[in-house]
Amino acid sequence: MNHEREHPISVHDVTVSYDGTAVLNNIGFCVKQGEIFVVMGGSGSGKSTLMKAMVGLLQPARGRVLYDGTSFWEADPDVRRRILRRIGVLYQRGALWSSMTLAENVALPLEEFTALRPGEIRDLVSFKLSLVGLSGVENSYPSEISGGMMKRAALARAIALDPEILFFDEPSAGLDPVSARLLDELILELRENLHTTIVVITHDLESIFSIADTSIFLDSADRTMIAWGNPRALLEQSEDPRVRRFLTRGRLSGAPEG
């Protein structure tokens, strides 16, 4: 029971396949309450696939995904829906609903899942949008704003219902370095202030070293995870050349700065 309280997510021996071809094999790890957990790996190593299996989009061929000890894929639809309500997801491309304004995007989950009155929802929406620095563009459509703003608006939507767990799929992809660092800071702030457990998928080294408490490394050749630990510790101690190469890429010396 205690283990469950401290580890809101645990993944047991999960194998995920597309049309019978396994792209991820025997994944197992657990995520501690309130930590920032990073899933790293090169393109095509199955990071997004792993996230899909965790947020209820793709049923694993084998294995279990437990939320507070409840096996997600074996639960009834009602239980699943209750679990999903506690989760927020920021997709790789933002995935804002294109036919709605930013405010409507953030408001939709509130309208769907709470009994709040329209006025209250409006206030909550502008609060969430101001948290991500987007006051004043509530009534723009996703196509009218920049990529960085889109990601932040999507973040506002992801935190609309104050989720206990947040997933980020490559938050820095497609952003300039400045916006990417801003988003990293936002992630840290969220963890500090809302005590959210955060799972981040990324291959951005700077993000990895500045936000990760724990990480796992997925390898595209072996189609499984080959390391689990704090990235700095992995950098210092991992014997595996693939992990070392990934963590030291683009650096002259091995040590991360800062």
Which residues are at the interface with ligand ADP (CB under 6 A)? 18, 23, 41, 43-49
Q: Name the DSSP letter for residue 160.
A: T
Of the two residues 15 and 230, which places its CB atom closer to other proteins in the complex?
Answer: 15
* Residue from the set 59, 69, 74, 81 that interacts with other proteins by CB under 8 A: 81
Task: For the chain, report the end-to-end CA distance as a whole number of angstroms.
Answer: 38
Is residue 228 within 8 A of residue 65, CB to CB? The reply is no
Which option in ligand ADP, other proteins, Mg ion, none does residue 45 bind, with CB closer than 5 to 8 A by kind?
ligand ADP
Strands 87-90 vs 214-219: parallel, antiparallel or unpaired: unpaired
Which option in Mg ion, other proteins, ligand ADP, none does residue 46 bind, with CB closer than 5 to 8 A by kind?
ligand ADP
C-alpha 120/C-alpha 168 separation (Å) is: 27
Of the two residues 89 and 201, which places its CB atom closer to other proteins in the complex?
Answer: 89
Helix (H, G, I), strand (E, B) or coil at 243: helix
* Residue from the set 11, 27, 38, 55 that interacts with other proteins by CB under 8 A: 55
Which option in Mg ion, ligand ADP, other proteins, none does residue 143 bind, with CB closer than 5 to 8 A by kind?
none
Q: Does 115 bind other proteins (CB under 8 A)?
A: no
> Can you read off the two tokens belonging to residue 45?
């190593």
| 47, 131, 210, 249, 255 from 252: Cα distances, Å | 27, 38, 19, 8, 9
C-alpha 184/C-alpha 6 separation (Å) is: 24
Name which of residues 17 to 46 contact other proteins (CB under 8 A).
21
* Residue from the set 30, 75, 95, 173 that interacts with other proteins by CB under 8 A: 95
Q: Does 5 bind other proteins (CB under 8 A)?
A: no
Please choose, from the candidates 108, 113, 111, the residue with its C-alpha nearest in 3D space to the C-alpha of residue 86. Answer: 113
Helix (H, G, I), strand (E, B) or coil at 51: helix
Residues that bind other proteins (CB under 8 A): 21, 52, 55-57, 80-81, 84-85, 87, 89, 91-99, 109, 112-113, 157, 220-221
